[in-house]
Amino acid sequence: MDTWTLRKGADKRLRAGHPWIYSNELSHSPKGLAPGAPVELRDAAGRFAARGYGHPGTLIAFRVLSRDEAEAEPMGAEGVLRRIRAAAALRRSLNLGAYSHRLVYGEADALPGLIVDRYRLETPPGDPPAQVFVAQAHTAGAERLLAGLPAVLAQLTEEETAGGLPDWAHSALLVRDDVRSRALEGLTEKGTRLLRECPAASEARLADLRIRVAGPGGAPLALAVNLSGGQKTGFFLDQSANVRLAASLAGNRLALRRAGGAPAGAAPVRVLDLFSYVGQWGAQLAAELAARGLAARVSLLDSSAAALEFAARNVSAQGAEAEPIRGDAMEMLTRLPAGGYDVVVCDPPAFIKSRKDTPTGAAAYVKLNAQALRLVAPGGLLVSCSCSSLLAEADFAAMLARAAEKAGRPEPAVRWVARGGPAPDHPLLAGFPEGHYLKCWVGVVT
C-alpha cells in the first residue's frame, strides 16, 4: 500500500470529518499510482491520518474509507462487508427494510463513490419476497469494489433472511455503468450489466418492474419503473420523504377546504407534476387524496415519452385521471392556464452542474419557479426542489423570493410551511458540505 503525506496544516478538514483530500493538499505529486489503488495517508508530522484509495490524475486525489489505524485493509472483503452490514442496520433501524431504499450512500456509509440501491419488488400473493440491488461505481476506487460485491451481498441477505427480507435466491444484482461522471476518473460508460438474476427479476423483466415504496400512512404503494434504463438507478429514492411530506400537507389542506361538503360532481383536485419522470410525485399525491376521499386529475409534464407512459400508469393505478403532456417544461409552462392547479410540483434536474453554470442556472431556477407560481390557484400549494449541490440553501431561499416577486406574488403572498432534504436512507455528514445537495420547500400561495 502506498503512503502519501499531507502538507503542513492540510489535515484540518480531514480531522473535522471531511472525506476528501485534494491533490494540492499533498506534499508531493501522487504520480505512479494505479487509479483507485489503496493508500495510507499521513499528516505532515508522519502520524497516521486515514486509509482509503487514491487517484493520481484527479483533483480529488484521496478518499477516506477508514480513520482507524488498526484496520489494515478497509477495501478488502471483510472491510466492505462490515460497512455494508452497518449501512443495512441503519436502514432497518429507520424502518426502511420493507420498502425500496438506498442501501449504500458513498461517503456517508464509508464506501466513497459506491451507490447500492435495494428495490423491494411487488410480487404476486403467495410468491416469496424478491428484490433487485442496483449498484453504481462513480470512482476508480469504487470500481475495484464491484468484483467482490456479489459475495458481500449474498452474505448480507443470508444474514437478514430471519428478519423476513428476501433471500439470495430471490435477489438480482444489476450494475449500471452509465454515469457520465465516471469519465472524470478515466472510467468508461459500459451501460448495464446484470450480474445475477432471480425469478422475479430476469433480464427481460428489468425494464418494467413494480417496486414497493411507502405510501399514505406508511401503507405499501407499488410503482412501475425501468431499472435497466431509467434515470439514476431507475428511481429517485432521495425524494421519498419529501414526497410523503408534501402529499400529507396537500391532503390535509385540500380535505379541510372541502370539509363543508363538495357538491355532487365537484371538480377533481388539479395536480401538475413538472419533470414528472415516472410520476412519483403525482402518484403519491393521487394516493393521498384518494385516501381522503378526494378525486384527482394529475397532469404529468416531461420530455420523455417512455417516462410519461410509466407516469400515467402509476397515477392511474391510484384511481386518478392522468394527463400526460410531452414537451420542454420551460416552453410548455407558458401555455398552461394561470391559477389552474391546486398543487404544482417543480422538481427539475440540476441546472447548476459546475461553478461556471451558476449565473445561468440560478436565472433558470427563478424563471421556472415564477412560471410555476403563476399556475397555482389561490390557496393552493407549490412544491419546489433543487438537486444542485452548488446552490446553497440560503441561495435557494433567495431564488424563491425573487421568483415570487417576478410572478406578481411577492411574499407574504407565498408562505413556506415546510422544508425537506434527502430521505433518511441518504444520510448526511455535517463535515461534508459537498454532500448536501437536495432542497425541497413547500409553500401555500394566496
The pLDDT value given to residue 264 = 47
158: pLDDT strictly greater than 60: yes
**What does each C-alpha distance from 341 to 273, 405, 418 come to in angstroms?**
10, 19, 20
344: pLDDT strictly greater than 80: yes
Backbone angles phi, psi at 329, to 5 degrees: -60, -45
Domains of the chain from N-terminus onward: 2-66 (2.30.130.10), 77-225 (3.30.750.80), 237-445 (3.40.50.150)
Q: Strand 131-137 vs strand 191-196: parallel, antiparallel, or unpaired?
A: unpaired
Which one-letter DSSP state was computed for residue 353?
Answer: S
Q: Which residues pair with 2 in a beta bridge?
A: 39
3: left (phi over 0), alpha (psi -120 to 50) or beta: beta
C-alpha span between 435 and 354 (Å, rounded): 15
Question: CA gyration radius for the chain?
Answer: 23
Which one-letter DSSP state was computed for residue 119?
Answer: E
Q: Strand 48-54 vs strand 2-5: parallel, antiparallel, or unpaired?
A: unpaired
The pLDDT value given to residue 386 = 98
**What does each C-alpha distance from 153 to 92, 131, 143, 150 come to in angstroms?**
16, 12, 16, 5
The pLDDT value given to residue 262 = 53
Helices H / strands E in the chain, number of each: 10, 19
- Set of cell numbers at residue 191: 451501460
SS3 63: strand
C-alpha span between 414 and 400 (Å, rounded): 9
* Mean pLDDT across 175-183: 89
The pLDDT value given to residue 257 = 83
What tens digit of pLDDT does each residue of 182-215 get?
888 999 877 899 999 999 999 999 999 999 999 9
* Mean pLDDT across 134-153: 96
Q: Mean of the per-residue pLDDT values for the chain?
A: 95
* Mean pLDDT across 157-162: 87
What tens digit of pLDDT does each residue of 34-71 get?
999 999 999 999 999 999 999 999 999 999 999 999 99
C-alpha span between 373 and 346 (Å, rounded): 10
Better-predicted residue by pLDDT, 64 or 218: 64
The pLDDT value given to residue 411 = 87
3-state helix, strand, coil in the chain (%, to 5): 35, 30, 35
What tens digit of pLDDT does each residue of 249-308 get?
999 999 988 776 555 457 899 999 999 999 999 999 999 999 999 999 999 999 999 999
Which residues of 72-155 form beta strands (DSSP E)? Answer: 101-105, 114-120, 131-137
SS3 125: coil
pLDDT over 90 percentage in the chain = 91
C-alpha span between 199 and 166 (Å, rounded): 12
Closest CA to 106 of 245, 238, 12, 229: 238
* Mean pLDDT across 109-123: 97
What tens digit of pLDDT does each residue of 385-414 get?
999 999 999 999 999 999 999 999 998 999
Are 238 and 426 in contact, with CB atoms under 8 Å apart? yes
Confidence band (pLDDT; 50, 70, 90) for 168? very high
SS3 314: helix
Q: How far, rounded to the nearest angstrom, does the alpha carbon of residue 87 sit from its chain's CA centroid?
A: 16
Which of 225-239, 253-267, 326-340, 374-388 bottoms out in mean pLDDT, i.e. has the lowest?
253-267
